[in-house]
Amino acid sequence: MLGRAEHDFYHLPCYLELSAAPGETPLAYLATAGEHRLLIPFLRRPLPAAICGDELLFDAASPYGYPGPIRTRGAPTEFVMEALAPFGPKLREGGLIAGFVRLHTLLNDPALFAGIGEIVNHGPSVFIDLTLSPEELWAQTRRGHKRDLAVLERRGYEITMDDWSRFDDFLTCYYDSMKRLGAGDFYFFSRDYFDRLRACLGDRIHLCLLHLDGEIACAGLVTEMDGLCQYHLSATADPHFQDHPSKLMLHHLRFWLKARGNRIYHVGGGVGALRDTLHLFKAGFSPLSADFHTWRVIPDRALYDRLVERWSAATGREPVESEHFFPQYRAPLEI
């Protein structure tokens, strides 16, 4: 299937396997019609005992990232819409009471999901067209970014690619950044996670290190898949935070990835896809963006509502709006 479809690394079986928490099962929904195929990878997750009691219940959710539905090349729009329609009923047949799917910002058209579940638009996500000439890429760079890049270069910041002998430096930088930003536990990926991610992607994942006088200032992981690149994870060391050296790293990567023959470099948006300072920073490298959407499907409304009522009883609170947290019964039990 992957050999016949435009896809990203989020769709690889090995990525789904390493994303599965204890008790979660990697699965996929496959729809076929003649030579056409549509695939939706997801994780089957057991519901918390505090909500489902003695019942053994499951729901479905995409792994972290953008692993929305993919289709074989040449599959028409009509097939896609017909293939998406039975997703909810098939979840119910499999004993799953809800589905949460993160759509791919560049591979999925949210209009195709109209009338099937609920689509939520979270905000813009920036990408760079690597088919443009170097001159055009530079022309798209915001004037303030150009000035800051010149300052960083004068200070002597240097960049190396794929020096995996310094991966521990990346980890130290990454964990320090997560602490500084007050990130949730989810984002403190273990060393085992990173080792498995590298084993999964092989030469399709790259380590970028920006250093000053031998000291790591910032670092990032970038992926390549069929000409589509992702700015996966990045971090800035505390002593260099005020210099914003990640500007130079992102700037370098767009030209490095272009030279390797890639087509698109997706750098993402703000925190939670909001139009915040992070989004503004990324938009300084490209005027292009595509909105990030999630797709929510409830195949068993009666059971779903009953679980939300149990959540309300356990917390003493009104349910969280589904637009802000889905499934609603998975909202934190404690404030």
Nearest to 251 by CA among 210, 279, 288, 310: 210
Rounded to whole angstroms, the Cα distance separating 143 from 153 reads: 16
The answer on pLDDT for 21 being more than 80 is yes
271 vs 228, which has greater pLDDT?
228
Q: Is the pLDDT of residue 335 over 70?
A: no
Q: Looking at the DSSP assignment, which residues form a beta bridge with residue 100?
A: 61, 296
Answer whether residue 156 is part of any domain.
Answer: yes
Is residue 217 located within the same domain as residue 149? yes
Number of H helices, E strands in the chain: 11, 12
Measured on CA atoms in the order 191, 193, 199, 203, is the torsion positive or negative? negative
100 and 73: one domain? Answer: yes
What per-residue confidence (pLDDT) applies to 274? 62
Q: For the chain, what is the mean pLDDT?
A: 92
Does 273 reside within a domain?
A: no
Q: How many domains does the chain have?
A: 2
pLDDT tens for 82-100 read 999 999 999 999 999 999 9
For 194-231, how does the pLDDT look when each residue is reduced to its tens digit (9 = 90+)? 999 999 999 999 999 999 988 999 999 999 999 999 99
Give the pLDDT confidence score for residue 242 in this predicted structure.
82
User: Given this model, what pLDDT does residue 239 score?
Assistant: 85
Domain span at 162: 131-262
Rg (CA), the chain: 21
Burial of 244 (0-12, 13-18, 19+ CB in 10 A): middle
Q: So what's the pLDDT on residue 192?
A: 93
Residue where a domain terminates, one of 262, 282, 301:
262
% of residues, the chain, pLDDT over 70: 97
Percentage with pLDDT > 90 across the chain = 77
Q: Per the domain annotation, does 238 fall within a domain?
A: yes
CATH number at residue 84: 3.40.630
Cα dihedral 212→215→220→224 (10° resolution)? 80
CATH number of the structural domain spanning residue 206: 3.40.630.30
